[in-house]
Amino acid sequence: MPNAHSLQNYGWLLVKGFFGLAFTLLLARCSDPLNTAGDVEPTFSSLYSKLFSTECASCHQPGGSGYVAGAPLDFSSTSTGYFSLFQSVGGASNSGTCGSLSNVAAGSPSQSYLMGVVSSQYYEDNFGGVSGCTPINTHINGVVNLSTSEQAALEQWIQSGAANN
């Protein structure tokens, strides 16, 4: 029969084990709080299915608030989505003097208006070297915030040539 001292030690071991496990699970969950979509690949098909169609299409398609405001993006289908990414932002009334830029400039995230809209890393006055061009910041300030992995996948896709893959 176990004595009181060994039962007390066993109890402490259980308590320590429980709190150790809880702490480990908490740390694992907090590894990257902005990384909610770790499976987004830097391909158009992955970006479209896991980002553009789910996070962007409700506003950026005919009848959506982003489309009505003049942003020339249409994510209602993969083909219109891909095509519209390479259009000039000139139709967007809120893009001001940014009209000479494209939403996506293949091979150049720093010249891609879309990166200036969704990433604080690229958001700046005189974006893309265009005097007076400041991307809209609603996507950086809370309307739709992309996770760090989504931003990285988009940036890598653009940097590698923005292929329709």
**Model confidence pLDDT, tens digit, residues 88-115:** 886 554 556 787 889 999 999 999 999 9
Residues of the chain with pLDDT under 70: 1-38, 68-71, 90-96, 140-143
What pLDDT does residue 164 have? 97
DSSP letters, 26-94, are HHHHTS-TT---TT--SSHHHHIIIIIIIIITTTSSTTSHHHHTT-----SSHHHHHHHHTSBGGG-GG
Q: Where are the domains of the chain?
A: 44-159
DSSP letter at 112 equals B
What pLDDT does residue 72 have? 75
Nearest CA among 115, 49, 113, 112 for reference residue 81: 49
